Structure 1
């Protein structure tokens, strides 16, 4: 086992926080050491100092991408925190249908992980608009910092067990049997989601038009307070008036620092 010293952990943790917003407490030292063991061994390193120098010197970005993939937890599933999806279907979509005059619906999944959230939203939108959908632009932007999970999302293949929470008519309408154990998202839903790699800590967000809804759930639990508030205020600036922000149920914007109005647990609105 290649051990990480306090100094090495502090150096690595500071780099990750500054560049990716992830706040690694001292208690995460063993976790970081364990998750990066194979990477160090495969690359031939015997200590974390040399590994850190290798990461920051790699201009291709491959080394840091691998590191972030290893230390982040990309756990999600279909219909996670399902009350958000029902609220989106029953409250948000009717409001947007009535108020978005150019029929250009702009939804952003800002930490899409392996794609379950984005595909669920695409299914909800398809079912909601039905025949009218032909006249709407309903494509969803789905971003994540991890190349690894983005590849899974783009493939759109999920196990039989993982789709259990989906309504039976969705399974029929939106998924095809892939093999004995897996199902694949149908092309009509896959084509509704645009996947891109994106770092939420980037100074500038390159979006020309504002969004009607932003989902950024179960990500900010890894950020400290200042990082979270800065990000939330960026979301506010990139939402249309009347737009919604969905965060994770384990997260909160209580304590001020933002202009968002509380709507229900983990749902906020720009007014």
Structure 2
């Protein structure tokens, strides 16, 4: 996500007042659960200046009014969410955690399903950004199951707050930068190269279903099909403790007994939830819903 330091309106730097910051910060929190601390006022100022310029508005106060009353406010709300979240991601991000997912978590879940004589698997990628994470999970499933994957009923539900990143995710076309952490043999096997771009093959794409969701909306979260595995990496860092507890509680409710939650390597459920059993592996902590 690029940062903008000034709006350039009439050649003057556009500054956000304390009152405007409070109005916009509270509005964003109310609509998305994303909390912007007082010491990050500059972030809001920088990232919204370009929107104000684009809409030909005078200041942040007019922008706040626009978000509430303009007929195009819903489209702008999507732009606002894009501006205040960072969509830095890649395929095969955090390989040690993905190895634990492949060798430990996935094996445990698949073995449990086989023991029940059912071959149904549901994975939820909450905060999927431009699709690299859910497609990576789809590729890993192909690697683990091989030809047997056709015998399984698999669905990876992938959600994000931003409709723009979801549009990109649905296309499934990426640059080599998105594949910078991906093994070369995986790229050759699961992507079609065309003019320097890399397209996810249909066999992987069909496993993933994309949709917009607001993790601060408990009603929306209850509609998500129950899962054996939930991925929510580098998302809860945007929330304050109250929203973190609510979101993690929703993940717990969504998970089937024995299910697993994986969060970002820099994130922790310490002081957020005691409902999960943390399982420590080299390079990753996995949270288990016992049952």
TM-score where L is the length of structure 2: 0.88
Question: 1: CA distance between counterparts of 2:112 and 2:202?
Answer: 29
Contact (CA 8 Å) 2:20, 2:60: kept in 1 or not?
yes
Contact (CA 8 Å) 1:174, 1:186: kept in 2 or not?
yes
Question: 1: CA distance between counterparts of 2:238 and 2:32?
Answer: 10
Contact (CA 8 Å) 1:122, 1:192: kept in 2 or not?
yes
Q: 1:193 to 1:169 in 2, by over 3 A?
A: same
Instruction: Please say if 1:43 is aligned against 2:55.
Output: yes
Deviations 1:154-204, CA, capped at 9 Å, x for gaps: 11112123313222321122001121x221111111111111111101121
Match of 1:99 in 2: 112
- 1:91: Cα distance to partner? 1.1
SS at match of 1:55: helix
Match of 2:159 in 1: 143
Contact (CA 8 Å) 2:90, 2:180: kept in 1 or not?
no
Match of 2:90 in 1: 77
TM-score where L is the length of structure 1: 0.94
SS at match of 1:251: coil
Instruction: Please say if 1:121 is aligned against 2:140.
Output: no
- 1:208: Cα distance to partner? 6.0
- 1:207: Cα distance to partner? 2.8
Match of 1:198 in 2: 213
**Alignment match of 1:54 (pick from 66, 71, 76):** 66
Match of 2:229 in 1: 213
Match of 1:87 in 2: 100
Counting matched residue pairs gives: 270
Question: 2: CA distance between counterparts of 1:6 and 1:143?
Answer: 33
Contact (CA 8 Å) 2:218, 2:250: kept in 1 or not?
no
Contact (CA 8 Å) 2:237, 2:267: kept in 1 or not?
yes
Contact (CA 8 Å) 1:125, 1:138: kept in 2 or not?
no
Structure 2 unmatched runs, 5+: 1-12
Structure 1 unmatched runs, 5+: none
Contact (CA 8 Å) 1:245, 1:268: kept in 2 or not?
yes
SS at match of 2:268: coil
1:1-271 alignment to 2 at 5 Å? 1-58=13-70, 61-100=74-113, 101=116, 102-179=118-195, 181-204=196-219, 205-207=221-223, 209-255=225-271, 257-264=273-280, 265-271=284-290
- 1:59: Cα distance to partner? 6.0
Contact (CA 8 Å) 1:251, 1:266: kept in 2 or not?
no
What RMSD over aligned residues (CA atoms) do the two structures have, in Å? 1.5
Question: 2: CA distance between counterparts of 1:173 and 1:199?
Answer: 34
Contact (CA 8 Å) 2:128, 2:159: kept in 1 or not?
yes
- 1:58: Cα distance to partner? 4.3
Question: 2: CA distance between counterparts of 1:209 and 1:29?
Answer: 37
- 1:256: Cα distance to partner? 5.4
* Bigger shift: residues 247-256 or 193-202: 247-256
Contact (CA 8 Å) 1:35, 1:71: kept in 2 or not?
yes
Question: 2: CA distance between counterparts of 1:247 and 1:195?
Answer: 19
Match of 2:4 in 1: none
